Every structure is written in structure tokens, then in C-alpha cells.
Amino acid sequence: MKSVRLWFKKDGLAVYISHLDMNRCMTRAVRRAQIPLWYTEGFNPHPYMTFLMPLPLGQAGLREPLDIRIEDDMSFKEIKSRLNAVMPEGIEIVDVAKPVCKPNEIAAAQYEADVIFASEEEAAAFADGAAKIITSGVLNAEKRSKKGIKTVNLCELVRSFEVRANGNTACVKTVLAAGNTVNLNAELLLNALNNSLSANPEKTVIARTGLLREDLSIFE
């Protein structure tokens, strides 16, 4: 048995594929590519396949990890080639490698977002206001958890935040808490900023560009 970490990109229309459907999509792709998956034992065997940090619906991911186990020594190059030959539009395997970090080492995620307004003035006002709010250290919002809905200070979950106006677009780069215990959705943060500033963007495009460890080194 060999552990393999697939790194994939999900963008375009594929951002509207839910996590459940994404699971089905990848399972079908691996089978069509004739990758020799390792199956769990027991009464109901199923292929070992684990998404380490599922993407929220509507968000792109430039380098998302998926762990599988295979039964022979197929090369990483061949796995990548076979999978990309059967992937649907908007999903691409960008790398295949041996897992380096453990899944529970994920502690943060990098995001880039374009908040698009009807005018340059609105974009500039959002950029200025958002920077001031994050710097203040207080941005309360309702966040859903396993125990229900509670009010949290989102600033406590923001590791870094940069924003600049470029024409009618406010360009955001941020690092947010991520992992099994604490996780901040970039959409929740941007919606909270919009509400606080009474901003009304025409469109918001969010992409997760990478995952990080606690010391903000790259998760591999």
C-alpha cells in the first residue's frame, strides 16, 4: 500500500460543485483512470479517499489536497497523467506527491478575493474601511458551529489582511484560521465587512491559494 497526496485546482464552473458531488466526481475519476485504489476492510469496503480541507461552495481552490492510497507502485507522473485525461472541465491535477505534513497540521489558509463594485469610489471606500476595521481588532458576526450559532470576533481568526483598490475592484489578500477545530470562511469575513460598512458589491470572487501550518509555513 502506498500513500499519495493529489493536489488539484478547482475553478471556473467547477466552483459550483458541492463537496458531496466533488467526492463522487473524484471517486469516478480515479476509477475511470484505473488507479489501483486501496479499499478499506470490513463489511462495506470503500476506497480510501480524504479531502483534507473541503472548499466552500462557490469558491475556487488553486492547490487543494486529496489523500488516497494505492495498491501498487504506480509513478506519480503516471497517476497525474491518467487522472487529468478523465477530469471534468474546471478540475485539474496540478501535482502528485508523497504526503509530507499530517492533515492535523493545517492551521491557516491563504485567500485572494476580488470585491467588485459599480464605481471606483465604492471600491476605495471599502478598501479604506475594511483595513481600518481589521486594524481595530473588532468585527463581530454570527458564526455557525457544531453547538449552534454564536457571535464571534472574526478579527481573532485573521492572521493577516491586505486590501487595495484597483479601479472598481477591492483586491483582498488574507490569511485566515483553518483546520478541524477553528476555521473562518473567507465569504463570512467579507460579508461581515460589507455589513459593517454598508457596502453593496456587485460581485465577489474568492480563491483559496494555499494551506499553511501553525508557523505559516507551506503545508505540503
Residue count of the chain: 220
C-alpha span between 36 and 54 (Å, rounded): 24
Q: What confidence category does residue 73 fall into, taking pLDDT thresholds of 50, 70 and 90?
A: confident
Q: What is the pLDDT of residue 95?
A: 97
Q: What confidence category does residue 173 fall into, taking pLDDT thresholds of 50, 70 and 90?
A: very high
What CATH number is given to the structural domain containing 65?
3.30.70.580
What CATH number is given to the structural domain containing 192?
3.30.70.3190
> Averaged over 24-47, what is the pLDDT?
85
Tell me if 25 sits within 8 A of 91, measured CB to CB.
Answer: yes
Query: Does residue 150 lie in a domain region?
Result: yes
Q: What is the pLDDT of residue 158?
A: 98
Mean pLDDT of the chain: 94
- Model confidence over 102-122: pLDDT tens digits? 999 999 999 999 999 999 999
Q: Are residues 37 and 76 in the same domain?
A: yes
Q: Are residues 95 and 116 in the same domain?
A: no
> Averaged over 76-91, what is the pLDDT?
96
Bigger pLDDT: 142 vs 90: 90
Q: Are residues 198 and 137 in the same domain?
A: yes
C-alpha span between 181 and 104 (Å, rounded): 10
Whole-number percent of the chain with pLDDT over 90 = 85
Choose one of 79, 99, 119: the last residue of a domain.
99
Query: Does residue 59 lie in a domain region?
Result: yes
Q: What confidence category does residue 39 fall into, taking pLDDT thresholds of 50, 70 and 90?
A: confident
Answer whether residue 146 shows pLDDT above 80: no
- Model confidence over 151-171: pLDDT tens digits? 999 999 999 999 999 999 999
Residue that has been written with the C-alpha cell 477553528 in this structure: 182
**What are the φ and ψ backbone dihedral angles of 120, each rounded to 5 degrees?**
-65, -35
Q: What is the pLDDT of residue 57?
A: 94
Q: What is the DSSP string of the chain?
A: -EEEEEEEEE-GGGGGS-HHHHHHHHHHHHHHTT--B-B--SSS--B-EEESSPPPTT-EEEEEEEEEEESS---HHHHHHHHHTTPPTTEEEEEEE---S-GGG--EEEEEEEEE-SSHHHHHHHHHHHHHHHHHT--EEEEEETTEEEEEEGGGGEEEEEEEEETTEEEEEEEEE-SSS----HHHHHHHHHHHHT---SEEEEEEEEEE-TTSPBP-
- Collect all residues with Cβ–Cβ distance below 8 Å to 61 and sequence separation of at least 6: 8, 9, 10, 11, 55, 207, 208
> Averaged over 126-142, what is the pLDDT?
96
Q: What is the pLDDT of residue 35?
A: 93
**What are the φ and ψ backbone dihedral angles of 68, each rounded to 5 degrees?**
-135, 170
Q: Are residues 114 and 200 in the same domain?
A: yes
Query: Does residue 218 lie in a domain region?
Result: no
Q: Are residues 21 and 117 in the same domain?
A: no
Query: Does residue 217 lie in a domain region?
Result: no
Answer whether residue 38 shows pLDDT above 90: no
Q: What is the pLDDT of residue 197?
A: 97
Q: Are residues 112 and 90 in the same domain?
A: no
| Residue-range definition of the domain harbouring residue 28 | 2-99
Domain count, the chain: 2
Q: What is the pLDDT of residue 180?
A: 83
